[in-house]
Amino acid sequence: MLALSCVVAAAPAKKKAKTVTRPLPPPHLQQAYFNGELVKINQAPLEKGQKPMLIGDWNLGPRVSPTPSDKRPNIYFVIPGTMHEISATHNGISGLKEYDDTEILSYAPEDPREFDVYWAIFLDPNLHEEFTSEPQLILASQQTFLPGDDFTFDKIPTASFLEDYLKISSLGKLDKFRRPNGSLPRVAIITGHFAVRFSAEKPEEKTAEQPKTEQ
């Protein structure tokens, strides 16, 4: 009989997978409206041990204090808006227009401060106003519209954002915003349950030119 020999090849050693670190997107907060005027925003840098607050391609800087506080000013992310046009920077991809946004501050401190984040979400399909101040937003949140019998969730101008980031995917989940007569606010203001830290540079005040006097 012939002896059968078995040769077992040694399996090659597995190479350790390289950890690929994705570069952070650029700061999303660069400017915002305060009382109708644009101010420059300087996001606070990440300190040791801090993680960035990332929402899609939005880099909002270090995430701080998850609980809203009356002692902190507010920053509102108005969606949709025109300050950051995500659809324009992504070659007009259908659906991204619902992520276009504008930021509004309730206060513009020159020193770094923590701001509670609120989403100001358009619910009324017929609302096309461009907001630039907190009082305008508050007023719009107090105004209502009555959805018709044929009104569906996908007719809400911010349906994708509501579903993707706020886990609101049906009209039933909007019932907490409804008034007794069944109407909904034109703008729903929803807490983000987190805060961000930055400083603001107020616009320089323009001094009026003094009329020249004839010699």
The ranges assigned to domains in the chain are 68-193
Output the six-digit token pair for 86. 């995500």
Q: What is the pLDDT of residues 97-139, one digit of tens each?
A: 666 889 999 998 888 888 999 999 999 999 999 999 999 999 9
| pLDDT value of position 94 | 43
Lowest mean pLDDT among 24-38, 51-65, 86-100, 199-213: 86-100
Asked if residue 185 has a cis previous peptide bond (ω within 30° of 0), the answer is no
Evaluate if residue 3 carries a pLDDT over 50.
no
pLDDT, residue 90, reads: 42
| Gap between the terminal Cα atoms of the chain | 129
Global confidence as pTM = 0.78
CA nearest neighbour of 181 among 146, 142, 151, 152? 146
The predicted-structure confidence for 28-76, as pLDDT tens digits, reads as follows 888 999 999 999 999 888 887 777 888 777 888 887 767 778 889 999 9
Q: For the residues of 53-103, what is the DSSP string, one character each?
A: EEETTEEEEEEE-SS--TTS-EEEEEES-SSB-HHHHTTT-TTGGGG-BEE
